[in-house]
Amino acid sequence: MADPEFIAYYFKSREGQHKLLANANSAGVPSIARPVSYLKSVKIKLPPIGEQRRIAAMLSVLDDKIGLNQAIVRNLEAMGEALYRRWFVDFEFPDENGQPYRSSGGIFTDSEMGPIPAGWTVRKLGDVLELRYGKAMKEADRVPGPYPVYGSNGPVGSHHEALVKGPGIVVGRKGNPGTVKFVSQDFCPIDTTFYVAPKTARADTLNYYYYLLLSQDLRKLSSDSAVPGLNRNIVYMTRMVIAPERVIAAFEDHARPIRDLITSRENENRQLAELRDALLSRLMTGEIRVPAES
């Protein structure tokens, strides 16, 4: 007798993955040739049904916590984006008296992009930030370590040496162009990405540039290009309303605690995933047993 949740976890384990990939098709694609007939032929050494359920329950607790953290991160990201829109799209940033600028009668001047707060400017994105190319780093050349390797879809592994000092911003260039990811630590961006270098006197304004890039829908810019991928020269030509440094610095003071909470939850999820994967392997081989409750 088999517990479905246990079986699902089994096929996530090293042993289960090995059995699945043992029948990968001859083209080298990691899929199962004749999946129905093959899965019926796979033999699994099953512990008693009670232990199966206890193993699945233990692992699902970790997965539930990971899922909860992911939901919290999504909510925190939404809070950061909402704060950015309020300050830099609706122009309701705090004035010198701490009141919302537009609502309290702030002064606006005309610009090519419509009325903007006095002292703000319209500039090209290329005037305020640089998109630097990621580095070629084949998977075979990576040595697992503490630094995440980033592709256009996000983390794709790790390396023992960092290429860029964090925190930083990674922008998808090829594969999934236009994605924007905030990285809280030193990292390795590969050659399907750009990473951001702000052209500013302040080095601690990354949250502002992160949300600014998110607001630009860079995926649409890449799809409008004749060549698949994100052309940084097209990004550089995009015109934006840019706030003075003092407003950007004030926004950073509000956004940084949100980012710290996001980073904390993401770090906890990495630790939980490592614990789950370590337990998964040892539970499935019987190295660790889950005793029945007395």
97, 165: one domain? no
Q: Considering the domain boundaries, does residue 172 fall inside one?
A: yes
Asked if residue 191 lies in contact with residue 133, where contact means CB atoms within 8 angstroms, the answer is yes
Give the model confidence (pLDDT) of 45-85 as tens digits. 778 888 888 888 889 999 999 999 999 999 999 999 999 99
Q: Are residues 146 and 129 in the same domain?
A: yes
Residues 222 and 125 placed together within one structural domain of the fold:
yes
d(CA 221, CA 238): 10
Confidence of residue 202 (pLDDT cuts 50, 70, 90): low
Q: Output the pLDDT for position 27.
A: 43
Total domains in the chain come to: 2
218-245 average pLDDT score = 83
Alpha helices in the chain (DSSP H): 4-10, 14-21, 35-41, 49-88, 125-128, 206-214, 218-223, 232-237, 245-284
In a domain, 161, yes or no: yes
Instruction: Mark whether 134 and 237 lie in a shared domain.
Output: yes
CA angle 226, 227, 232 (to 5 degrees): 105
pLDDT at 29: 47
Residue 7 — pLDDT band, cuts 50, 70, 90?
Answer: confident
One domain, residues 125 and 238: yes
Whose structure tokens read 């270098």? 197
Domain membership of residue 292 as a residue range: 1-103+244-294
- In a domain, residue 115? The reply is no
Residue 112 lies in a domain: no
- CATH number for position 158: 3.90.220.20
Q: What is the pLDDT of residue 5?
A: 86
> What is the share, in percent, of the chain residues with pLDDT greater than 70?
88
What is the value of pTM for the model shown? 0.83
